[in-house]
């Protein structure tokens, strides 16, 4: 006779081995967390004995002016979890940037402005188990002597931002290391590219008032001269996991991406906000006054190291609006109601069939007796 107790004990041991192996793999995953991550337009740096998770980032890009007077304004809000007592962010810009704090309610205002329109959508059956839903200077020359030139520095409360110009990548790396930044090789490779192309950098690090770079930071706005209309993205090549990017882009007209990595970019929202005044609240009124058309673009990069380039924007072929729609699904019958109706119909059909057969049998018996 088969010993089912032994079989059960063998199964239990197998499950225990599987559980232990899973916990070991998870532990290795935590130990292997990178010490610096890339976010959408910059690199986050923490000491080598600290850990950080990749931040999420919300970004608004505003382009105004033409020719020598053209400028781009980038406002970002980062969410970062780190146990580091020291941390920082480095953002490359095509020209030296002016830095200030942004409006704390800016991204809430953007969410309200791009809220989907709600429409009813009817279905015959469903509902029981459905989810609920529905002032900028021109580009400067390289730093004297091939070193690093500190162009400006500003205290932003929990952060201090320094605008830099580097004459060579080794000097930039030495400056960063000297100021407490731990530079991973993957991040350094991208920094080298920007240095060769003559870009500037904004280095942000904790001031003595801050205990650690952890949680949501206040929005930070960078403004730089920019005739190309470019948003720096190459730092995210150092990201070690898929990257999702959502950009709120303000300009005179609807825009589209024109860079090499724009193939899978999707337009989530496009509209002249002067026609949607009820959706425009105070934090974005000054932006709408100078660049009224908002285009919201999204894209996911499965392999950032091989796919990402800087984002560049150009005027789209049309200024037609594209408003997202959220459907309120409504149902003639719930599943339970439809099942009850179906049973009733089947019973009715069965009753009719029985009645018809009985009448047919009665007619046959009447005909037989008459004969």
| Tens-place pLDDT, residues 67-123 | 889 999 999 887 665 555 566 788 999 999 999 999 989 999 999 999 988 777 776
Same domain assignment for residues 245 and 346:
no
Would the pLDDT of 2 be above 70? Answer: no
- Per-residue pLDDT at 14 exceeds 50: no
The pLDDT, as a whole number, for residue 133 is 39
Kind and range of the H or E run holding 240:
none
User: Poorest-confidence range of 117-131, 192-206, 335-349?
Assistant: 117-131
- On whether both 240 and 271 belong to a single domain, the answer is yes
What pLDDT, on the 0 to 100 scale, is given for residue 233?
A: 86
Same domain? 251 vs 326: yes
Smallest Cα–Cα separation from 191: which of 169, 210, 167?
169
Measured CA angle at 81 (ends 75, 85), to 5 deg: 100
* 109 within a domain of the structure (yes/no): yes
User: Where does the pLDDT of residue 207 fall: very low under 50, low under 70, confident under 90, or very high at 90 and above?
Assistant: low
Handedness of CA 360, 364, 369, 371 (dihedral sign): positive
Q: How confident is the model over 332-355, as a mean pLDDT? A: 78
What whole-number percentage of the chain has pLDDT above 70? Answer: 67
Q: Are residues 132 and 272 in the same domain?
A: yes
Strand-pair category, 230-231 with 311-315: antiparallel
Mean pLDDT across the stretch 314-323? 95
**1 assigned to some structural domain:** no
Q: Are residue 255 and residue 151 in the same domain, yes or no? A: yes
Ordered alpha helix ranges (H), the chain: 4-31, 106-113, 169-178, 185-196, 285-290, 304-307, 335-370
Please check whether residues 271 and 358 belong to one and the same domain: no
Whether 220 and 339 share a structural domain: no
Shared domain for 189 and 294, answered yes or no, is yes
Q: Are residues 164 and 267 located together in one domain of the fold? A: yes
Assess if residue 294 is contained within a domain: yes
What does pLDDT average to over the chain?
76
* 297, part of any domain: yes
- The domain total for the chain is 2
pLDDT at 284 over 50: yes
- Asked if residue 225 lies in contact with residue 137, where contact means CB atoms within 8 angstroms, the answer is yes
Query: Which pLDDT value is given to residue 257?
Result: 95
Q: Which domain holds residue 341?
A: 335-364
Asked if 347 and 313 sit in the same domain, the reply is: no
Is 75 in the same domain as 122? yes
Whether 36 is covered by a domain: the verdict is yes
pLDDT band at 204 (very low <50, low <70, confident <90, very high): confident
Contact 243, 303 (CB under 8 A): no
pLDDT score at 148: 92
pLDDT attached to residue 136? 45
Q: Are residues 94 and 130 in the same domain?
A: yes
Q: Can you give the pLDDT at residue 371?
A: 55
Give the pLDDT of residue 82: 54
Q: What percent of the chain lies above the pLDDT cut of 90?
A: 36
Q: Taking residues 254-261, what's their average pLDDT?
A: 93
Instruction: Compare 313 and 238 and report the one with higher pLDDT.
Output: 313
pLDDT at position 140: 42
- Structural domain contains residue 3: no
Does position 15 have pLDDT exceeding 70, yes or no? no
- Looking at the domain assignment, is residue 42 inside a domain? yes
Average pLDDT over residues 16-30: 32
- The answer on pLDDT for 160 being more than 90 is no
Better-predicted residue by pLDDT, 136 or 288: 288
Overall average pLDDT of the 316-345 stretch = 80
Angstrom distance (rounded) from CA 321 to CA 326: 16
Does any domain span residue 19? Answer: no
């Amino acid at each position: 006779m088969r010993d089912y107790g032994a079989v059960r004990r063998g199964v239990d041991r197998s499950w225990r081995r599987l559980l232990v192996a899973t916990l070991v793999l998870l532990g290795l995953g935590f130990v292997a967390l990178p010490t610096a991550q890339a976010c959408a337009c910059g690199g986050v740096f923490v000491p080598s004995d600290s850990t950080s998770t990749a931040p999420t980032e919300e970004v608004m890009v505003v382009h105004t002016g033409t020719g020598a007077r053209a400028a781009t304004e980038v406002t970002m809000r980062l969410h970062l979890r780190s146990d580091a007592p020291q941390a920082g962010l480095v953002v490359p810009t095509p020209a030296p940037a002016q830095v200030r704090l942004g409006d704390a309610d800016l991204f809430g205002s953007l969410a309200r402005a791009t809220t989907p329109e709600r429409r009813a959508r009817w279905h015959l059956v469903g509902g029981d188990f459905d989810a609920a839903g529905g002032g900028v200077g021109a580009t400067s020359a390289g730093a004297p002597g091939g070193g690093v030139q500190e162009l400006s520095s500003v205290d932003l409360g929990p952060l201090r931002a320094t605008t830099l110009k580097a004459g060579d990548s080794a000097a930039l790396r030495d400056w960063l290391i000297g100021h407490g930044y731990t530079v991973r090789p993957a991040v350094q490779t991208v920094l080298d590219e920007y240095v060769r192309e003559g870009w500037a950098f904004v280095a942000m690090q904790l001031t003595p008032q801050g205990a650690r770079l952890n949680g949501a930071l206040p929005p930070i706005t960078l403004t730089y001269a920019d005739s190309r209309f470019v948003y720096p993205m190459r730092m995210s090549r150092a990201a070690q996991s898929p990257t999702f990017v959502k950009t709120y882009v303000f300009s005179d007209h609807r825009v589209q991406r024109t860079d090499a990595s724009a193939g899978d970019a999707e337009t989530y929202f496009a509209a002249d906000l002067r026609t949607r005044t009820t959706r425009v609240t105070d934090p974005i009124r000054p932006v709408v006054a100078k660049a009224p058309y908002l285009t919201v673009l999204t894209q996911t990069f499965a392999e950032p190291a091989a796919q990402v380039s800087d984002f560049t924007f150009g005027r789209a072929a049309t200024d037609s609006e594209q408003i997202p729609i959220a459907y309120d699904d409504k149902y003639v019958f719930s599943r339970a109601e439809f099942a009850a109706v179906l049973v009733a119909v089947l019973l009715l059909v069965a009753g009719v069939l029985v009645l018809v057969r009985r009448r047919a049998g009665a007619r046959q018996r009447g005909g037989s007796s008459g004969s």
